[in-house]
Structure 1
Amino acid sequence: MFEKLMQLFTVTDDSTADDKMTLELVTAALLLEVSKADFQEDPAEIDKIRTILLQHFSVSLGDINAFIDQARNTSADSTSLYPFTRYINDNCNNIEKYQLVLALWDVALEDGRIDKYEDHLIRKIADLIYLPHSEFIRAKLSVIGKETS
């Protein structure tokens, strides 16, 4: 009886969850979170996510939809951003973190505007991955500048 009770209070090892994480999957999950932050998952934003994943990662064109579904499931199974941001912190340098935030802004602006909820979520992610605020702003202005030119 005490053994069963102890099992309830024993912290489980997160290594099995970490083994499933890849940079591609974490990035896709965070991009999807931004796409639905404004409570509308715009098809243009999903297309932008596909483009980003195809350009920057080894996801094939034939596997992209299945991969996005896998990222959706991973994101839905998570109760917070922590597993994703921890993976980024453990495996990425500041340049890669900046590139991630740049991609997040690209997705947010794909529908023509940055919603306050998208802005808040990207700011939160940037804070959690310890990206300096000046880099957060530089990424935002870079994406906005591309849109207006």
Structure 2
Amino acid sequence: MFGDFLTRLISPGPAPLDDGDARLALTALLVRVARSDGDYDAAERGMIARIAGRRYGLSPFEAQRLLKDAETLEGQAPDTVRFTRAIKDAVPYEDRRSVLEALWAVVLADGQRDPEEDALLRLVASLLGITDQDSARARQKAERA
């Protein structure tokens, strides 16, 4: 199921993703960042499910199903650089910018800012084409929430 999706996503000049595929790709990116410190815990999974539920108007059951699919996709996705660049090419800027805020919320869900997570978020912001100013605003907004 996800093999065809990933092939389409990382192909040269991918077509814009439909809403369902964009949800899945962006949620998988949240999972990737949450897993980056080697401690993917219930607080992070819960935060991702809540973000997905709010962002996409999903019921708790639907948000959990999306999270499960995103975890599977993330496990099959290529390296972070190729995966993130593919999302950049297929998802509008405003969606990518708001996802960066969600990524910060996931990173901060365990109450700690890990240096590896900070470095990964800087890389992801750059690969998503997010300006430094928008990235800083996204982090600050997530810290206040």
TM-score range for the pair, normalised by the shorter chain length = 0.7 to 0.9
Equivalences, count: 132
1:71 and 1:50 map into 2 onto residues whose CA distance is 10
Cα deviation, residue 99, structure 1: 0.6
Query: Taking structure 1 as reference, are residues 16 and 47 closer, same or farther at Cα in structure 2, changes over 3 Å only?
Result: closer
CA distance in structure 2 between the aligned counterparts of 1:85 and 1:51, rounded to whole angstroms? 25
Unaligned segments of structure 1, at least 5 residues:
1-13
State the match for 2:117 in structure 1. 118
| Corresponding residue number in structure 1 for 2:4 | none
Residues 84, 124 of structure 2: 8 Å contact kept: no
Report how far residue 126 of structure 1 moved: 0.7
Q: Hey, what does 1:57 align to over in structure 2?
A: 56
Alignment of 1:7-86 (within 5 A): 14-15=7-8, 22-81=21-80, 82-86=82-86
Paired with 2:45 and 2:54, the residues of 1 have a C-alpha distance of 14
Q: Secondary structure at the match of 2:74?
A: helix
Larger Cα Rg: Structure 1 or Structure 2? 1
Contact 2:33–2:107 (CA under 8 A) maintained in structure 1: yes
Q: Secondary structure at the match of 1:24?
A: helix
After superposition, the C-alpha distances for 1:5-60 in whole angstroms (9 at most, x for unaligned) are xxxxxxxxx33877797111011101111111111012111111011000011433
Specify the SS of the correspondent of 1:22: helix
Matched, 1:92 2:85: no
Identity of aligned residues (%): 22
User: 1:84, CA displacement in angstroms?
Assistant: 4.3
1:88 offset after TM fit, Å?
A: 3.4
Query: Quick one: which amino acid aligns to residue 124 of structure 2?
Result: I
* Cα distance in structure 2, aligned partners of 1:47 and 1:73: 16
- Cα distance 1:65–1:116, how it changes in 2: closer, same or farther (>3 A)? same
RMSD: 2.3
2-structure distance, mates of 1:133, 1:117: 18
* TM-score for the superposition, normalised by structure 1: 0.77
Contact residue 23 and residue 88 of structure 1 kept, 8 A: no
